A = this chain, B = another copy of it.
């Protein structure tokens, strides 16, 4: 824990002063939600979804397009027909019962390690953008320098508790070597938690090897140091690429996100509750498989979720059904007592405009009220994930600070003190000069830096600077203030040696990686 965090946790007036004096890019302590989860289903409805999902697993089955998984499932006692696996509900319940409900998510800087699961929520920046809108708001292919930049910005954002991995795709790196450079960038530019690439089984093995260099295999056996995402092919298919990456992680007790990839109405029924029933069956099938791979390994109930435009087929963000499905998925994950992941601050807009703002805030509220534990895509996502916007990144990061405050719930520690202020001020007075106000104002009410709340006259006098420019100016300032949390020299050398060796071993491929 940092000096500031320690002081604040200790409480009192000194603590408040310390918080005010802290640099404004200090990471916030792990978020513990104080608001209740939005539960839109009663127990009967939860059981209805559970029963429908279990019937899907028993009667329709799930395709595992992967010989090793099929062999594993046969050994585990599932009914297998070709690549289709029929899972009895008893077996599923038995398997998922050994998934831990929470753990410590270890960061390079142990003071930045995080409690995972339960009432805790973690904001992670967006991942996987094939384009960037850069510091000049120009849309183009990203490079490794751009990825470094986003890792630095993540490091400097108080409510982002992770630097993720490939926030943008570094297109100047060979596809077959890219995962090595992405992982190194995450490890080097921040000492917060990060994610591991799962683009293939062999790539995942490389990530594990690099984590062993950074943390040591003994630490990894004890507690997770990264996470990996495995997307399903909805409806009801898991493929070899994802399953082999899953095995690399799970064997070493590193949690994977079992993430059905839902385009509501295209690869699910056109209805909210039945779509959740299918998604739930898919997630359960992969969660169960993690325990076949290694009993007791941590795992995360995942999903990526959008509804699609019936006209263009494009994924939409911020729609009401996405909110409802998040509420319901949260209930299902809690029913199974497994931590869960969702997505945040999504936008389908082409520029950083009002649409992007509405869509993002709709999503953020949905996932916080849903009680999500691991909140992906929390900064930068626009154009349905096609680009990461640098301007939106820093505004989203500030929105995460606001979401954090909201989700904490109200404070009560100065209630009596403040009621004395009401007596002091009396009817018709004002509070601006009262000692309680001066002592508490900044802590009491969040003041966004990137939202302009001046009068229009003042705003015009200052040059009518639009939010995109304000945000890009802020990004440049953060990068100027950035200080690298240096890796241990020996570790750094070992990581670079490993990368160099693997670059010699892995054939350079410019096109999409096809190795598994």
Chain A residues in contact with chain B, CB under 8 A? 34-36, 38-41, 45, 48, 52, 55-56, 59-63, 84, 139, 233, 235-237, 264-275, 277-278, 307-312, 314-316, 318-321, 323-324, 327-328, 348-362, 364-366, 369, 383-384, 386, 392, 395, 399, 402-406, 409-412, 414-415, 418-419, 421-423, 425-432, 434, 436-437, 440-442, 444-448, 450-456, 458-459, 464, 466-468
Contacts and interface: CB of A to CB of B under 8 A. Distances in A.
A316 B278 contact: no
Closest 4 CB pairs of A and B: A357-B357, A274-B418, A361-B361, A365-B365
B427 A237 contact: yes
Nearest to A273: B410
A468 to B, nearest CB: 7
Given A271-B411, A386-B456, 13 more contacts: A34-B40, A35-B40, A235-B427, A236-B426, A265-B444, A271-B440, A273-B410, A309-B454, A312-B455, A318-B451, A348-B451, A358-B451, A360-B361
16 contacts: A35-B40, A55-B419, A235-B422, A269-B419, A271-B418, A271-B444, A272-B410, A272-B411, A308-B445, A309-B447, A318-B361, A319-B447, A350-B452, A353-B466, A357-B359, A358-B361
A351 B423 CA distance: 40
Contacts of A353: 353-354, 357, 466-467
Contact of A235 (B268, B399, B429): B429
A405 B320 contact: yes
A447 B348 CA distance: 13
B358 A427 contact: no
Given A271-B440, A354-B468, A441-B265, A316 B428 contact: no
A45 B412 CA distance: 9
A359 B243 CA distance: 41
B272 A451 contact: no
A356 B357 contact: yes
Contacts of A321: 405, 444-446
Could you say how many copies of this chain the assembly holds?
Answer: 2
Contacts of A56: 419, 422
Contacts of A308: 445
A358 B444 contact: no
Nearest to A319: B446
Nearest to A233: B428
A32 to B, nearest CB: 14
A136 B357 CA distance: 22
Contact of A464 (B310, B350, B383): B350
Contacts of A351: 466
Contacts of A409: 40, 324
B265 A415 contact: no
A445 B265 contact: yes
A64 to B, nearest CB: 10
A419 B277 contact: yes
Contact of A441 (B310, B356, B383): B310
A431 B269 CA distance: 6
Contact of A63 (B45, B392, B425, B427): B427
Nearest to A309: B453
A45 B63 CA distance: 51
A237 B48 CA distance: 53
A69 B455 CA distance: 37
A171 to B, nearest CB: 17
Nearest to A59: B423
Contact of A354 (B233, B236, B354): B354
Contacts of A446: 307, 319-321
A437 B274 CA distance: 12
B324 A406 contact: yes
Nearest to A277: B419
B426 A395 contact: no
A422 B35 contact: no
Contacts of A467: 349, 353-355
B63 A453 contact: no
Contact of A358 (B52, B314, B357, B426): B357
A447 B354 contact: no
A454 B355 CA distance: 13
Contacts of A412: 45, 48, 273
A365 B318 CA distance: 11
**Which of A41, A351, A410, A411 has most chain B Cβ within 10 Å?**
A410
Contact of A38 (B35, B41, B315, B316): B35
